[in-house]
Structure formats: structure tokens, C-alpha cells
């Protein structure tokens, strides 16, 4: 009768477990940094990614898809009148290699689940506001998981949940 537990040590040493988990986390962080820094070598590739996302978004019937880009010295804003995020969209941008779009879906350009990470070439603290979702990523956070683990933030002043989706990049030092 084979042992159903493939782990030869059913009571692993907690220090070994912590060390193994730390190694996994470090490997994940190296992968994320590499994708964010090297996959999109151009500093403005994020613009193409956000325009592509706007093209791929869902729009209410009869709505003319609109993308508005506002660039200021310390901030850039992309506003889009799509129907807005659902939980699955938030989970997708928090993941690596996960997408709500499939390569076989007609009409979609992006589907690899990594394009949004290109915004980290511009800012360490991108924000996404869509419907009632308001999140900020922080790639410089102490835990190192800020590329994929956002924190909730307040909605922008005057935000209306029917606005669609807005992406904000701050602390840019443009111009």
C-alpha cells in the first residue's frame, strides 16, 4: 500500500519552509522585474499597451469608444469610456500571464497578460480606477510584490462609477 503523502517528511522544519517560500518569492520577483524592465525596452511602450487595451475593451451598445490622454509634468492619465472592470479584470492585471482575452478571440490584439506591467517603465505607483475598483500598485514597496499586489486607494475627486476606466501614472518628472 503506497504512502499517499509524497512528502517523505510529514512535519517539515518551519525554518526550511520559510526558506523555501522565500526562494520562491525571490524567483517570482526576479521574473516580474525582468518582464517589466526588459520585455518592453522602450520607455514609451506603455502608451501602445494602454491604447491597445482601450481597443480591446468592451463598450456599451451605441457608445463611440473614446480614449482621452492627459499629460502633465508630474502625471499622465488615460481615460476610457469602456463598460469598466469586473473582478476578473482586476485579477488579470494583478497576475502574470493571465488575461481575460484569448488569442483565439476575434478582434483582440492583446492576450498575453503582461502588457499592463509595461507601465512600470514610467512610474513605480500606477493607479487604476474602474467602476468601484480603485487600486494602486507600488513596485518599490518593502515586500517586493507591488508589481502584482495592489492596495486600495480613494477614488479621484468627483469620480462617477459610470466613468469607465482611468489609469494614472504619477511622480513622472516629465518636461
Sorted by sequence, the CB contacts under 8 Å of residue 173 that are 6+ apart come out as 73, 74
Q: What is the mean pLDDT of the chain?
A: 75
pLDDT of residue 5: 55
Instruction: Tell whether pTM > 0.75.
Output: no
- Is the confidence at residue 93, as pLDDT, over 70? yes
Give mean pLDDT, residues 46-63: 85
- CB 118: neighbour CB atoms within 10 A? 22
Q: What is the mean pLDDT of residues 140-162?
A: 82
Cell numbers representing residue 32 in the block: 516580474
In what helix (H) or strand (E) does residue 28 lie, and over which residues does it extend? helix 14-34
CA–CA separation, 147 vs 156, rounded Å? 21
What distance in Å separates the CA atoms of residue 94 and residue 78, rounded to the nearest whole number? 19
Amino acid at each position: 500500500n503506497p504512502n499517499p503523502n509524497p512528502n517523505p517528511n510529514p512535519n517539515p522544519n518551519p525554518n526550511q519552509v520559510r526558506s523555501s517560500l522565500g526562494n520562491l518569492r525571490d524567483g517570482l520577483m526576479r521574473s516580474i522585474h525582468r518582464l517589466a524592465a526588459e520585455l518592453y525596452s522602450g520607455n514609451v511602450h506603455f502608451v501602445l499597451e494602454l491604447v491597445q487595451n482601450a481597443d480591446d475593451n468592451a463598450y456599451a451598445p451605441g457608445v463611440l469608444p473614446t480614449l482621452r490622454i492627459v499629460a502633465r509634468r508630474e502625471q499622465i492619465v488615460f481615460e476610457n469610456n469602456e463598460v469598466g472592470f469586473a473582478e476578473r479584470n482586476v485579477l488579470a492585471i494583478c497576475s502574470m500571464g493571465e488575461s481575460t482575452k484569448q488569442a483565439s478571440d476575434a478582434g483582440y490584439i492583446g492576450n498575453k497578460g503582461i502588457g499592463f506591467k509595461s507601465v512600470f517603465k514610467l512610474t513605480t505607483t500606477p493607479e487604476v480606477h474602474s467602476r468601484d475598483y480603485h487600486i494602486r500598485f507600488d513596485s518599490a514597496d518593502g515586500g517586493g510584490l507591488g508589481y502584482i499586489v495592489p492596495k486600495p486607494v480613494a477614488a479621484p475627486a468627483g469620480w462617477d462609477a459610470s466613468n469607465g476606466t482611468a489609469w494614472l501614472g504619477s511622480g513622472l518628472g516629465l518636461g
